[in-house]
Structure 1
Amino acid sequence: MPQIALSDTAEIVTTLAGGSEIVLVCEHASAHIPPDLNDLGLAAVDRLSHAVWDPGALAVAQHMARMLDATLVASGISRLVYDCNRPPHAPDAMPEQSELIRVSGNLGLDAAARKARTDSYYTPFKTTLAAAIAGRSDPIIITVHSFTPTYHGKPRAVEIGILHDTDTRLADAMLAIAAQFSPMAIQRNAPYGPEDGVTHTLREHAIAGGHPNIMLELRNDLIADDSAQHAMAQMLSDWITAALKNLERTTR
């Protein structure tokens, strides 16, 4: 079973080390904003909102890591400080606006300030994840996220999104399994897709090396407590196990 192992940058990245080929990633695991950033100017009500992190995603990923004997790499910093699923040049790596929330602490960041955040938060995350992947002979990369039931006032019907970029192998296998066994509203590349810039981690760490990969998006009202998180993790882990077996058969 996986054991907790904190990296040298424990406040920035946490790893859960497992023995299988699966590397789970949770880029938006934490709502932590370092004290010197003065809460990025956010109101108290906004500091634990979905704008700041992905509620429930880390708990689901931790359950999955144990079920799949997987390695988990999770960011320890709010995505408003640095979104570890974005490259440094992307404007939304340090967003000035998140849906309806103005992030005043990110307004007008100059090149030096952006580089300082990149060096402090993104680089350790990227390095830790790259090392975890390099430690596997045939790595499989799966990122875990959550999303809000409504966005800009519009309800979202999708309950689980299975996302991919140019490599569709694992997503195709997962969607086929899900269609057989679940009555839930499961969609490909929803509620976001590659055109929204959400597949950076997949591109950077999986596609470039030819590793099977997917991004999971879970509606956060479905993973609001530990019981629901555990049940979601079990269902997803079962699908992943079955999908990987199907992939193995097709590549023989």
Structure 2
Amino acid sequence: MLTADDPPAVRVFNPKGRASFLLLGDHAGRAIPAALGTLGLGEADLDRHIGWDIGVGAVGEALASALDAVFVRQTYSRLVIDCNRDPDRADAIPAISDGTVIAGNENLTPGQRRMRIEEVHSPYQRAIAEMIARREAEGRETILIALHSFTPWMLGFDRPWDIGVLHAGGDTRFATSLLAALRDRPDLVVGDNQPYAMDDVDHTIPVHAYPDRRLYAEIEIRQDHLADPEGVGRWCAILADTFAQAAEAKDRPG
């Protein structure tokens, strides 16, 4: 599927970053392999929230620079294959998303699905695992932080949160400390497992954090807050500060 003219499926930004945070962008990209055309969609649909997590690439790179952290990000649209889903799930390659039919995802053969898994999903997940293994070999702590963004309106409902912290199984100390640090800010409306709850639909954090009880958080930022460089800069400053607070607080008694 991918040719020499297509970009690689995964990009590692600041690969030698020394911070304990390993930033992840499951839905940071919006590219479509040339072989798939536009999946039957117009540019306006591809640029909507159904195609990618708006602003995550920009805020991830800003955070990686500010914190000297590694940022592993997906290049391709979540409509090609959703890298935060088990690839065997039917909705990993959605035929419809938020009411929009994805014609290029209809009636795929097992071979076509396997091609997307092997060329897009697997390289991304493998890059995360290899980065964790390298850091562990160097004796370094790794706190996984999956960066996501959400549309302010969904199915006719306003979503009032500025940011949400998602957590469930495994070691939740960092996630709950981050939630507390964000809630200490009077200028933010912070959701606890809102606007989404972490559950068995999520893939990246459960695979890479839960088995070894690795510290983690998955965060969701309102997309309209990341619509311009000023918003990205503001959220970079907020997150850099609260990540540091949470990392310091996670081991305090009580």
TM-score when scaled to structure 2? 0.91
Aligned in 2, Cα 1:182/1:58: closer, same or farther, shift over 3 Å? farther
Q: Displacement, 1:40?
A: 0.5
Other-structure match for 1:203: 206
Match in the other structure for 1:113: 112
1:20/1:44 CA distance change after superposition, 3 Å: closer
Q: Which residue of 2 aligns with 1:178?
A: 182
- Residue number in structure 1 paired with 2:218: 215
Counterpart CA distance in 2 for 1:182 and 1:62 is: 26
- Whether contact under 8 Å (1:141, 1:202) holds in the other structure is yes
- Cα contact 2:183–2:189 (8 A) shared by 1: no
**Cα distance between partner residues in 1 of 2:183 and 2:158:** 23
CA RMSD of aligned residues (A): 1.6
The runs of 5 or more residues in structure 2 that have no matched partner are 1-5
Looking at structure 2, the residues matched to 27 and 165 of structure 1 have their Cα atoms a distance apart, in angstroms, of: 18
157, 162, 186: which one aligns with 2:160: 157
Tell me which amino acid in the other structure corresponds to 1:242: Q
State the aligned residue count: 242
* Residue 247 (structure 1) shift: 1.3
Structure-2 residue corresponding to 1:194: 198
Deviates more, 1:96-105 or 1:241-250: 241-250
Deviations 1:210-249 (A, max 9, x none): 1100111000011111111011011011001011001134
Look up the SS of the partner of 1:20 in the other structure.
coil
Matched residue, 1:97: 96
Aligned to 1:13: 10
CA shift at 1:81, angstroms? 0.2
Secondary structure of the residue aligned to 2:87 is: coil
Match of 1:23 in 2: 22
Q: 1:49-83: per-residue Cα shift (whole Å, max 9, x none)?
A: 11110111111111111122111100010000011
Alpha-carbon shift at residue 138 of structure 1 (Å): 1.9
Whole-angstrom distance in 1 between the partners of 2:246 and 2:186: 14
Using a 3 Å threshold, how does the CA distance of structure 1 residues 152 and 194 change in structure 2: closer, same or farther?
same
The percentage of counterpart residues that share the same residue type is 33
Name the amino acid aligned to 2:186: S
| Equivalent AA in structure 2 for residue 165 of structure 1 | A
Residue in structure 2 matched with residue 44 of structure 1 by the alignment: 43
1:102-132 deviation line (CA, Å, top 9, x unaligned): 1011011121111111001011101111111
Residue 77 of structure 2 is aligned to residue 75 of structure 1: no
CA distance in 1, matches of 2:168, 2:233: 27
Contact 1:165–1:202 (Cα < 8 Å) also in 2: no
Q: CA deviation at 1:196?
A: 6.7
Q: Deviations over 1:166-188 (max 9, x none)?
A: 13211210111112223311011
Cα distance in 1 for partners of 2:174, 2:99 equals 34
Whether contact under 8 Å (1:100, 1:152) holds in the other structure is no
Please state whether the residue corresponding to 1:141 is helix, strand or coil: strand
- Structure having the higher helix fraction is 1
